[in-house]
Amino acid sequence: YKVYKSIMGHPNIPYVHQFTREGEYNILIMDMLGPNLSSIMEAQSDGVLSVKTTLMLAMQMIDVMQHIHDKGFIHRDVKPENFLMGVRNTAPVLYLIDMGLAKKYSHDNKHIFRKTNKPLIGTVRYASIDTHRGIEQSRKDDMESVGYMLVYLLRGALPWQNVPADTTQEKYDKIRIIKESTTLEELCEDVPEPFRAYIETCRDLGFEESPNYAAMRGLFSGLMSELGVEYDNQYDWM
Task: Decide if 77 is catalytic.
Answer: yes
Which of 66, 20, 90 lies closest to 211, judged by CA?
66
From the list 31, 70, 77, 232, the catalytic residue is 77
Residues assigned a catalytic role: 77
